[in-house]
Amino acid sequence: MTPKIQKFLSETACASPCLVVDVDVIERNYDTLKTEMPLAEIFYAVKANPAAPILERLVGLGSSFDAASVPEILDCLKAGAMPSAISYGNTVKKAGDIKAAHNLGVTLYAFDSEGELEKLAENAPGSRVYCRILTENSGAEWPLSRKFGCELDMAVDLMVRARDLGMEPHGISFHVGSQQVNPDQWDIAIGRTAMVFSALRERGIELKTINLGGGYPARYREDIPEFSEFARAIMASMTKHFGNDLPNIMIEPGRSIAAEAGAILSEVVLVSRKRKDADRRWVYLDIGMFGGLAETMGESIKYAIKTPHDGGPTGRVAIAGPTCDGADILYEETPYEMPLALRSGDRVFIESAGAYTTTYSAVNFNGFEPLRELYI
């Protein structure tokens, strides 16, 4: 948690639970990415946290944006982004939404299938398109699976088709999976992209851009390599596969820009045991799976949780949310420990919670309000 958030929380009576985001950290993270990967154009993945203060700060820094829906595009425009700085990166879009984006001036679109390409040709004629290829997500703690992307030979055929339909074949994209902690995971996908580039060159199409996607991790309970290590591995791989003829580079970071900028204030509702002499206690917080911590699904993202008793003796705990849903358990298998002194009413802090929390929060499940959010 940053000193600014700490000071704010100590001086302000915030109702719990509440996410507090230090927007200066957004700027610092953006600057780090820009410094470490100066050749890349940064498209902030809006879905990580679409709050206006974040988008506005990023517009001021010259960021571009990866939007997945028309409302996200409108959020970017409202924050001051130019339509030319927005990529409509969802490969699954309704025809009407493509038309709406086109009317708003968006000229860059993702696709991974023939059906989508035909929709684009009809509703956003002449636009720049990039094709997403399938790639391994191993090493990612929040994999994006086989839902997106197509095989390489199909990508080649689809790009030829794009040209024949009057579109501008722009580039190739992939996503190595979110919270990807292995810097070497980009290499295979970059190599595969280079193969598509040369296959298309043989067919008279010169692609301009490689989109390396997102996936760069944030620091949760466990430490991760610095972003400089990811940048070094990626740029080495780019040179290995493309030589001196580097294409334009896009990156779409979400988590690595927003997560560490925020902390959630939460209150302990209950500490209990299932048996009088049970070793493990159950800690129930006033936020859970449905209150914004959806990424604890399958115990994937492991948040660091600070308590007022840190430093004292600890014991094993299971951690759960406040609703009456049996699925509302954050950690049961993961070996979490919390202080033995922890009591109902204690305030705890869930760290690195600035990404993928507010928008995942249910509107009124079990009568609980959506996650409050403050930007300072």
Ligand X SMILES: *Cc1c(COP(=O)(O)O)cnc(C)c1O
Interacting residues with ligand X (CB under 6 A): 45, 47-48, 66, 89, 175, 178, 213-216, 252-256
| Shortest spacing between CB 307 and ligand X, in angstroms | 27
In angstroms, rounded to a whole number, what is the distance separating the alpha carbons of residues 257 and 220? Answer: 14
Query: Which residue is closest to ligand X by CB?
Result: 214
Residues comprising the chain, all counted: 376
List phi, psi (to 5°) of 331.
-140, 120
Shortest distance, position 231 Cβ to ligand X, whole Å = 14
Backbone angles phi, psi at 318, to 5 degrees: -105, 145
Minimum gap (Å) between residue 189 Cβ and ligand X:
13
Closer CB to ligand X, 109 or 284, in the complex:
109
> How near is the Cβ of 89 to ligand X at its closest, in Å?
4
Q: Which is nearer to ligand X, 92 or 246 (CB)?
A: 92
Nearer to ligand X, 259 or 342 (CB): 259
Question: Residue 82 or residue 92: which is nearer to ligand X going by CB?
Answer: 92
Residue 150 DSSP symbol: B
In DSSP terms, 156 is beta-bridged to none
Query: Residue 230 corresponds to which tokens in the numbers above?
Result: 């990811």
Q: At 315, is the secondary structure helix, strand, or coil?
A: strand
237: nearest Cα among 199, 206, 210: 210
Q: Please, which residues bridge with residue 270 across strands?
A: 284
Give, in degrees to the nearest 5, the angle at Cα 356 between 353 and 359: 115
Cβ burial, residue 350 (10 Å; 0-12/13-18/19+): buried
The helix or strand, by DSSP H or E, that contains position 157, with its residue range, turns out to be helix 152-164
Of 93 and 175, CB closest to ligand X? 175
Closest CB 43 distance from ligand X, rounded Å: 8
Which two three-digit tokens encode residue 7?
């000071």
Closer to ligand X by CB, 254 or 288: give it: 254
Residue 203: CB minimum distance to ligand X, A? 26
- Residue placing its CB nearer to ligand X in the complex, 21 or 265: 21
Gap between the terminal Cα atoms of the chain: 13
Whole-number minimum distance, CB 237 to ligand X, in Å?
18
Query: 130-159: buried (b, 16+ CB within 10 Å) or exposed (e) per residue?
Result: bbbbbbebebbbbbbeeebbbebebbbbbb
Q: How far is the CB of 131 from ligand X (least distance, A)?
A: 13
Toward ligand X, which CB reaches closer, 66 or 286?
A: 66
In angstroms, the Cα distances linking 3 to 8, 13, 25, 309 are: 8, 17, 11, 19
